[in-house]
Amino acid sequence: MQASKLTAGSVFPELIVSDMNGGEINLAKPTAPNDWKLVIVYRGKHCPLCTKYLTQLNDFSGKLAELNVDLVAVSGDPLEKVEEQMSTIEPTYTVGYGLSIEQMQTLGLYISDPRSPEETDRPFAEPGVFLINDKGTLQLVDISNAPFSRPDLESLVGGIGFIRSNDYPIRGTHQ
């Protein structure tokens, strides 16, 4: 049974994950001086499309910082896998690890089982993007059940700039 999805305008849940550089990350809270947060959930080291996406994310981390948006990427992988994958990506943003199945369900992510032991050794989250505004609510949410369906980073970051500079409302909240 799939957990219910987070909805635009809802409060983003307090979730704590480990930081690959030590310490912990509260996914709901931006790091000062930023007042918004962009959380990118990726599948893990086994996913070449994730590696490509996270590498491209380096090109946008500076623009997000200019927009006062804190950026974190996170997966359910253990530290060893994250360190190996990030050694080639060399991220210019924060990377978390160890997202639990319960946390994946709290976020309403799709969760997949590995197709074989060669793919990976544990269930993993499919992609998710969460933009949390300065009130702690979801300004934007995008979840997918497949690795090749995720927001184009140029459009995403451009849209975040538009939202911030035009006080654009949270969309998709009609009941």
Q: Does some domain include residue 56?
A: yes
Residue 101 near residue 110, CB atoms below 8 Å:
no
Q: Does some domain include residue 5?
A: no
Q: Does some domain include residue 171?
A: no
Q: Does some domain include residue 7?
A: no
Q: How many CB atoms lie within 10 A of CB 72?
A: 22
Residue 142 sits in which domain range?
Answer: 16-166
Q: Does some domain include residue 106?
A: yes
- CATH number where 87 lies: 3.40.30.10
Supply the pLDDT for residue 1.
45
Residue segments in the chain with a per-residue pLDDT below the cut of 70 = 1-3
Query: How does DSSP assign 72-110, residue by residue?
Result: EEE-S--HHHHHHHHHHH--SSEEEE---HHHHHHTT--
pTM comes to: 0.95
Q: Does some domain include residue 80?
A: yes
Q: Does some domain include residue 138?
A: yes
Q: Is 157 exposed, middle or buried (0-12, 13-18, 19+ CB in 10 A)?
A: buried
Q: Does some domain include residue 82?
A: yes
Indicate the number of domains in the chain: 1
Q: How many CB atoms lie within 10 A of CB 92?
A: 13
